[in-house]
Chain A
Amino acid sequence: MKVEGKARIWKNYQKEIPDNDFFYVRSCVRQNFFPGAETTFLRIMKDELGINVYDDPAHTSCTGIGYHADIVPFDTTMTVVARQFALMTEKGFKNMIPSCITSFGLYTEILETWEHHPEVLEKARKYLKEATGRTFEIPENLSHASDVIFKFRHKIAERAKYKLINKYTGKPLRVVEHIGCHYAKMFPSKGVGGAEYPYVLTGMVESFGGEIVDYPERRSCCGFGFRQYLVMANRGYTIANTKKKFDSMDPYKPDCIVTNCPGCPMFLDKGQYAIAELEGRVYGDGKYGIPVLTFEELAGIVLGYDPWDIGLQVHQIPVEPLLDKIGVEYDKSAKYKGIGGRDLGKPQHSKLIKAYIE
């Protein structure tokens, strides 16, 4: 593997990411899957970087899941997205950052459609006006939230309390980066580093001191695949695909996986439990599995945020082995305590994947 060959491609996929003033649109599902991720993003942006971000409670789903499941027609989706742009316009912002990869892909698809078919844009304006009375401006910049963390990765690294270095060996932690399919596979030029060898998470991991693991099934979907999972009869494809990825990455002994999509950490994290139950196989060290993080959680960890404040206790695969390798100080007894010390209760654990704290 020639890293310089990848760097050659990365040069061709540079992307303009603004410095400040972002209109943030949350994901429908992330707040259920990994509830600390988006809060951590806003905390990093505001508290660490001093960036102006507006988190509008009036925005809705982009309909992406329904759109890709073929139950929401394009005209409806386009009108809903036009409404998000109207909210952004009303609040005086020009830079939009979706939290969700599918939203990012969908907004990109719609903006590209409007650029090439102005009559479709006019139709969207008409529908939105008729439905809500709103008007909108097209964003000057559309970046994914991971693009923004990528842009400020060096600043975050400067402020970091920890590095992605294994404190027992002194070597960089080995990180699998998993990019959501809708980030750049549809529009390679819209992703940092392109579609085939994306740099957005690689750049973050390298800046934080870790090293990237490349493996044969790197480009494969996590398994979610929308119609694979949303249609119950197809769910076997989901778990089969997830297993294929783990079988491929496991020999490279990764210390963790980092993702930039709402669905991927869900399926890579919970999928390990399902595979353990179905196949009796536990990846990684054979006891705890391979920890899966969102990019915000990864940044939060290196910045020294309390792991339980950023929601790491809701992961299926225990993150403590990773925290211990990094040398993160944390209160083991506080893992299942909520705000004000409220007892959250303890989850049942797999017989095969061990809980770190019994």
Chain B
Amino acid sequence: MEAAGNLVNLGFEVYLIERTNRLGGNVANWYCLFPDFKPSSKVVEQLKPAIQNKVQFRFGAEVCKTEKKGNKHLLHLNDGEVLECDAVVVASGFSLFDAHRKEEYGYGIYDNVITSADLEKQLAENHTVMTTQHKAPRKIAFIHCVGSRDHKVGNAYCSKVCCVTGVKQAIEVAKMHPEAEIYSFYMDLRMYDRQFEDLYMEAQTQHNVRFIRGRLSECFENADKTILLKAEDTLSGKPFRLSVDMVVLLVGMQADQSLKHISDMFALKTSDDRFLSVADVHTSSIYSGVEGVYLAGACTGPKSIHETLNSARAAALSTAIYLNQN
């Protein structure tokens, strides 16, 4: 959306090809955003005016095949339409890690094991969080790094934003259920950006969120549908068990499956982490290395919203410079 809006502003004709039938990508599925708890819907709404009635939307569309005709890219869509373009900005985003793959955590098997995305959905729909048995949770555990920094699932990289997402969600739940005990299991807390550390401190000092350095070993369901956690507190060096009413798995970002197809079509390179490679990680992080193809957002790796929007603006500017020169 941001790249399209910027290119329209710079005077170019833009097609926006969207796989789903709505705008906003993953952000539209979120309730509120770190670090200021701004509703995510407001961010999506803020981006819309720059493109509404200004770009040519193709909803429910996917690029099936591409051809090169001189300097032009011919994009064949799934409905048979062919778009002739002078440049392409890939902004296909990311997928969330499929928590079913961490079998030992019991997602999809134990009723009260949910993901961070499920929690956002609950919050967006109900403005509160309840167990599957419709009870207010008295004990909740947040599990960091689910599907991130985990060689076992093939995702060795850090997803960057889950740490602060976990802190944000812990604060949200604490505000809704002040009496609840909230635990947060982490291996590192990477509060890398402005105000993140403040949120982390707020969680501890104002909401009594208990941060436990230790990765969860496994989950089980007790007879009363509470979840028994087996974990280790690596600071005290002791294994322990804890029963909670609800477990929230902070699922990381991973390269969307569509990236394989996209990289094949445009002859783009991918990295070991399956995200798209960039021409130069320092000086050209929005250029694919293939003439006329630019990269915006999380298709090149995990990013926060402001990082995504900045890369979209940079991609739009680079695209504009390329178009003006050709």
Residues of A whose CB lies within 8 Å of any CB of B are: 1-2, 5-6, 8-9, 194-197, 214-219, 251-252
| Interface presence of B104 (CB below 8 A) | yes
Tell me the bound Cα distance from A218 to B109 in angstroms. 15
- List the 5 shortest-distance A-B pairs measured between CB atoms, nearest first: A5-B109, A216-B220, A5-B108, A196-B103, A216-B228
Q: Please tell me if the beta carbons of B220 and A194 are within 8 angstroms of each other in the complex.
A: no
- Quick check: B108 and A219 within 8 Å, CB to CB? no
User: Are the CB atoms of A2 and B108 closer together than 8 Å?
Assistant: yes
B100 within 8 A of A: yes
Q: Which of B108, B110, B220 contacts A218 (CB 8 A)?
A: B220
Contacts of B221 in A (CB 8 A): 1, 214, 216
Residues in A with CB closer than 8 Å to B62 are none
Find chain A residues with CB under 8 A from B218 CB.
196, 219
Are the C-beta atoms of A194 and B103 separated by less than 8 Å? yes
Query: Contact: B103 with A9, CB < 8 Å?
Result: yes
Q: Which of A1, A195, A252 touches B109 (beta carbons < 8 Å)?
A: A1
Contact call A216/B100, Cβ cutoff below 8 A? no
Contacts of A219 in B (CB 8 A): 218, 220
Contact, CB under 8 Å: A197 / B220:
no
CB contacts (< 8 Å) of B108 on chain A: these are 2, 5, 8
Known: A218-B220, A219-B218, A252-B223. A197 touches B111 (CB 8 A): no
Residues in A neighbouring B100, C-beta threshold 8 A = 5, 8-9
Note all chain A residues with C-beta closer than 8 A to B107.
5
User: Does A2 contact B111, Cβ atoms closer than 8 Å?
Assistant: yes
Nearest CB to that of A1 among chain B residues? B221
A251 in contact with B223 (CB, 8 Å): yes
CA distance A218 to B228 in the complex (A): 12
B110 touches A1 (CB 8 A): yes
Interface contact A197-B103, CB-CB below 8 Å: yes
Alpha-carbon distance A8/B107, docked complex (angstroms): 11
Selected A-B contacts with CB under 8 Å, 19 pairs: A2-B110, A2-B111, A5-B100, A5-B106, A5-B109, A6-B109, A8-B100, A8-B108, A194-B103, A195-B103, A196-B104, A214-B221, A215-B220, A216-B220, A216-B222, A217-B220, A219-B218, A219-B220, A252-B223
Instruction: Knowing that A218-B220, A251-B223 touch, tell me 7 more A-B residue pairs with CB under 8 angstroms.
Output: A5-B100, A5-B109, A195-B103, A196-B103, A197-B103, A219-B218, A219-B220
Min CB distance, A251 to chain B, in Å? 6
Shortest distance between the CB of A247 and any CB in chain B (Å)? 12
Which residues of B lie under 8 Å from residue A5 when comparing CB positions? Answer: 100, 106-109
B209-241 Cβ-contact flags toward A at 8 Å (1 or 0): 000000000101111000010000000000000
Where the two chains meet, the residues of B that have a C-beta atom closer than 8 Å to any C-beta of A are 100, 103-104, 106-111, 218, 220-223, 228
Closest CB in chain B relative to A176 CB, distance in Å: 14
Q: Of residues B103, B223, B228, which shows the largest number of chain A Cβ atoms within 10 Å of its Cβ? A: B103
B222 / chain A contacts, CB cutoff of 8 Å: 216
Q: Give chain A's interface secondary structure class.
A: loop
Give the complex CA separation of A196 and B107 in angstroms. Answer: 12
Q: Least Cβ distance of B106 to chain A in Å?
A: 8
Report the nearest A residue to B100, measured CB to CB. Answer: A8
Interface centre among A2, A194, A195, A218 (most CB of B within 10 A): A2
Assembly CA distance A197 to B110 (angstroms)? 12
Residues of B within 8 A of A215 (CB): 220, 223
Which single residue of chain B is at the shortest CB-CB distance from A13? B103
A217→B228 CA distance, assembly (Å): 9
Contacts of A214 in B (CB 8 A): 221
Contacts of A6 in B (CB 8 A): 109
Asked if A197 and B109 make an inter-chain contact with CB atoms under 8 angstroms apart, the answer reads: yes
Distance in Å from the Cβ of A41 to the closest Cβ of chain B? 30
Whole-angstrom distance between the alpha carbons of A216 and B223 in the complex?
Answer: 8
Inter-subunit contact A2/B228 (CB<8 Å): no
Return the chain A residue nearest B227 by Cβ: A216
Docked Cα-Cα span, A215 to B107, in Å, equals 16
The residue in chain B whose Cβ has the minimal distance to the Cβ of A196 is B103
B215 to chain A, nearest CB (A): 16
Are B220 and A1 neighbours in the complex by a CB distance under 8 Å? Answer: no
- Docked Cα-Cα span, A194 to B102, in Å, equals 12
Whole-angstrom CA separation of A1 from B110 in the bound complex = 5
Checking B104, B111, B228 against A1 with a beta-carbon cut-off of 8 angstroms, the contacting residue is B111
A261 to B321, CA, bound (A): 69
Quote the shortest CB–CB distance from B118 to chain A (angstroms).
Answer: 14
In whole angstroms, how far apart are the Cα atoms of A38 and B222 in the complex? 35
Q: How far is the CA of A5 from the CA of B99 in the complex (A)?
A: 12
* Least Cβ–Cβ distance between B105 and chain A, in angstroms: 9
**Taking the nearest CB of chain A, how far is it from the CB of B59, in angstroms?**
31
Measured between C-beta atoms, what is the minimum distance from A295 to chain B in Å?
23
Nearest CB to that of B105 among chain A residues? A196
Q: Which residue of A lies closest to B110 (CB)?
A: A1
Enumerate chain B residues within 8 angstroms of A196, measured Cβ to Cβ: 103-104, 218
Please, which residues of chain B bring their CB within 8 A of the CB of A217?
A: 220
Shortest Cβ distance from residue B96 to the other chain A in the assembled complex, whole angstroms? 17
Write out the residue numbers on chain B whose beta carbons fall within 8 Å of the beta carbon of A9.
100, 103, 109
Q: How far is the CA of A2 from the CA of B218 in the complex (A)?
A: 17
- Chain B residues with CB under 8 Å of A197's CB are 103, 109
Residues of A within 8 A of B104 (CB): 196
Q: Known contacts being A194-B103, A197-B103, A216-B228, is A2 close to B109, with CB within 8 Å? A: yes
The answer for the CA separation of A194 and B103 in the assembled complex, in Å, is 10
- Complex Cα gap A214–B107 (Å): 16
In the docked arrangement, what's the CA distance between A126 and B211, Å?
A: 55
The winner among B104, B106, B109, B218 for most chain A CB atoms within 10 A is: B109
Q: Among A195, A197, A216, which residue has the most Cβ atoms of chain B within 10 A?
A: A216
Bound form: Cα–Cα A1–B219 in Å: 12
- Residues of chain B within 8 A (CB-CB) of A218 are 220
Complexed CA–CA distance, A252 and B100 (Å): 26
> Closest chain A residue to B218 by CB distance?
A219
Q: How far is the CA of A251 from the CA of B223 in the complex (A)?
A: 9
B223 to A, closest residue via Cβ: A251
Among A5, A251, A252, max chain B CB count under 10 A is at A5
CA distance A214 to B228 in the complex (A): 13
Closest to B217 in A: A219
A219, B104: Cα distance in complex, Å:
10
